[in-house]
Amino acid sequence: MSVHADHSREILDRLGRVGVIAVPPTLAALGGLHAAWALGWRWPGGSDQALAERVLSRSERDRLGSGQLPPVPLTWSVAAALLAGAGIVRAAGTGTRSATLRGAAWTASVVLVGRGAVSVASNLSGGPDDTYQRLDLAIYSPLCLALGAGTAAAVARKAPMPLPNRRLALAGAATALLGGGLSVRTAAQAMAAGRLPL
């Protein structure tokens, strides 16, 4: 193998590590946000109408009716899909040999990249003229593109992430999800001692 190929493989492996570390907790956090919406939390916004204006496209709002949100069971389904996606990407990125899980992760990557790309094109074609379109262009679509690329990089890795790095990655995710109340090192030590069951 040439030096260039070795260097390219090393770069891809590093990107894959970033994907394994960043994508699953991000998908899990988004799943948690959807679960919170299903339970009645209305951030960002404060009301059904304000939330709808920030998270639903104009066509979705027109279809549902003014100030209406999607049915709660549908929101729970999205939450469950995001949480399942987090587990799938983590398993596929940490070295599973399951063709089914790897295929599911590749599918998630394609869906995320497709959603991001189509939304950018759609929002730019008519100009961002409402709150949702501006947020979609600034946050939602770039996040989907990054998660899709991170998922692809994680799944494309050939070598599994070593266990100490997995613990550190999980400790970092636990720290982020617990609001930073623990340092990454403290969370990693607690995991190693079995006091933080992740």
In tens, the pLDDT along 6-55 reads 778 888 888 999 999 999 999 999 999 999 999 999 999 899 999 999 99
Token digits of residue 126: 């008519």
User: pLDDT: is 191 or 58 the higher one?
Assistant: 58
My answer on whether 26 and 107 are in the same domain is: yes
Residues in the chain: 198
CA gap 127, 30 in Å, rounded: 27
Residue 197: pLDDT band (50, 70, 90) is very low
149 lies in which domain range?
3-158
Residue 180: pLDDT band (50, 70, 90) is very low
Which segments of 38-171 are extended strands (E)? none
Q: Are 26 and 145 in contact (CB under 8 A)?
A: no
My answer on whether 145 and 194 are in the same domain is: no
Spell out the SS3 assignment of 33-58. HHHHHHCCCCCCCCCHHHHHHHHCCH
Q: Which residue matches tokens 């403290």?
A: 186
Helix (H, G, I), strand (E, B) or coil at 151: helix
My answer on whether 93 and 45 are in the same domain is: yes
Q: Which residue matches tokens 């109408």?
A: 49
Q: What is the largest CA-CA distance in the chain?
A: 60
What is the value of pTM for the model shown? 0.77
pLDDT at site 166: 55
Residue 114: pLDDT band (50, 70, 90) is very high
Residue 159: pLDDT band (50, 70, 90) is low
Q: What is the pLDDT of residues 43-54, one digit of tens each?
A: 998 999 999 999
CA gap 56, 133 in Å, rounded: 9
Residue 167: pLDDT band (50, 70, 90) is low
CB atoms near residue 188 (< 10 Å):
21
What's at 149, amino acid-wise? Answer: A
My answer on whether 126 and 185 are in the same domain is: no
My answer on whether 86 and 166 are in the same domain is: no
My answer on whether 36 and 76 are in the same domain is: yes
Token digits of residue 1: 């193998």
Token digits of residue 64: 């549902």
What's at 15, amino acid-wise? Answer: L
Closest CA to 30 of 182, 176, 138, 184: 176
pLDDT at site 51: 96
User: For the chain, what is the mean pLDDT?
Assistant: 84
pLDDT at site 198: 41
My answer on whether 104 and 185 are in the same domain is: no
My answer on whether 121 and 178 are in the same domain is: no
Residue 1 carries which DSSP code? Answer: -
Give yes or no for residue 148 having a pLDDT over 50: yes
My answer on whether 143 and 171 are in the same domain is: no
My answer on whether 85 and 122 are in the same domain is: yes
Average pLDDT (179-198) is: 52
User: pLDDT: is 173 or 81 the higher one?
Assistant: 81
My answer on whether 33 and 104 are in the same domain is: yes
Number of domains making up the chain: 2
My answer on whether 93 and 168 are in the same domain is: no
Give yes or no for residue 149 having a pLDDT over 70: yes
What's at 121, amino acid-wise? Answer: A
CA gap 157, 165 in Å, rounded: 15
